[in-house]
Chain A
Amino acid sequence: MENDNSLLAVNNLVKHFDISGGLLEQLRWKNGRIVRRKTTVKALNDISFSIMPREILGVVGESGCGKSTLARAVLGLYPPDSGEINYQSSRIDNLTPHQMLPFRKKMQMIFQDPYASLNPRMTVKRTLEEPFLFHNKSATPTEVKDKVEEVMQQVGVEPSWITRYPHEFSGGQRQRISIARALMVDPEFIVADEPVSALDVSIQAQILNLLMEAQEKRGLTYLFITHDLSVVEHFSTRVAVMYLGKICELAATSELFESPRHPYTQALLSAIPELGRQKPTHIKLKGEVPTPIELPAGCVFHGRCLYTDERCIREVPQLISLNSGVEVACHAVEENRI
Chain B
Amino acid sequence: MKSWNRFKNSYLLYSFKRDPVAIISFCVLAVLGVISILAPVIAPYNTYDTATIDIMDAETPPTWMEDGDERFILGTDIQGRDLLSTMIFGLRVSLLIGVGAVLFQSFVGILVGIISGFFGGKLDSFLMRLADIQFSLPYLIVAIFTMAIFKVAFGIGRYEDLAEPLLIIIIGLSQWPHYARTVRASVLGEKNKEYVEAARVIGISRQLIMFRHILPNTMTPVLVISTIQVANAIMSEAALSFLGLGMPITRPSLGSLIRAGFEYIFSGSWWITFFPGVLLVILILVILLLGDWLRDVLNPKLYKG
Contact = CB atoms under 8 A, between A and B. Distances in A.
Whether the complex brings A and B within 8 Å at their CB atoms is answered: yes
Interface of A: 22, 72, 75, 77, 97, 100-101, 104-105, 107-109, 111-113, 116-122, 130-131, 134-135, 163, 167, 178, 181, 185
Interface in B50-109: none
Nearest to B305: A120
A109 B2 contact: no
B198 A117 contact: yes
Nearest to B202: A131
B304 interface: yes
Contacts of A120: 195, 217, 305
B125 A119 contact: no
B17 interface: no
A293 B18 CA distance: 53
A77 B204 contact: no
Given A121-B216, A131-B202, 4 more contacts: A111-B197, A116-B193, A118-B195, A119-B195
B195 A134 contact: no
Contact of B194 (A22, A75, A112): A112
Interface of B: 2, 125, 193-195, 197-205, 213, 216-217, 304-305
A31 to B, nearest CB: 30
A77 B125 contact: no
9 contacts: A104-B203, A105-B203, A111-B197, A112-B194, A116-B194, A116-B195, A117-B193, A178-B198, A185-B202
A181 B195 CA distance: 11
B217 A119 contact: yes
B215 to A, nearest CB: 9
B2 A163 contact: yes
B305 A117 contact: no
Between B195, B200, B204, B304, the greatest number of chain A beta carbons within 10 A of the residue's beta carbon is seen for: B195
Contact of A117 (B194, B202, B204): B194
Nearest to A131: B202
Contact of B202 (A72, A111, A130, A167): A130
B204 A134 contact: yes
A134 B197 contact: no
Nearest to B214: A119
Contacts of A117: 193-195, 197-198
Given A22-B125, A121-B217, A167-B304, A111 B204 contact: no
Contacts of A131: 202
Contacts of A72: 197
Contacts of A122: 213
A111 B217 CA distance: 19
A167 to B, nearest CB: 6
Given A163-B2, A167-B305, A130 B194 contact: no
Contact of B201 (A22, A108, A113, A118): A108
B203 A135 contact: yes
B192 to A, nearest CB: 9
Contacts of A108: 201-202
Nearest to B198: A117
Contacts of B217: 119-121
B198 A100 contact: no
Between A75, A117, A163, the greatest number of chain B beta carbons within 10 A of the residue's beta carbon is seen for: A117
A107 B201 contact: yes
B197 A109 contact: yes
Contacts of B201: 75, 77, 104, 107-109
A97 B205 CA distance: 8
Contacts of B202: 104, 108, 130-131, 134-135, 185
B194 A111 contact: yes
A112 B197 CA distance: 12
Contacts of B304: 167
A122 B305 CA distance: 11
A307 B216 CA distance: 55
Contacts of A107: 201
B190 to A, nearest CB: 9
Contacts of A111: 194, 197-198
Nearest to A185: B202
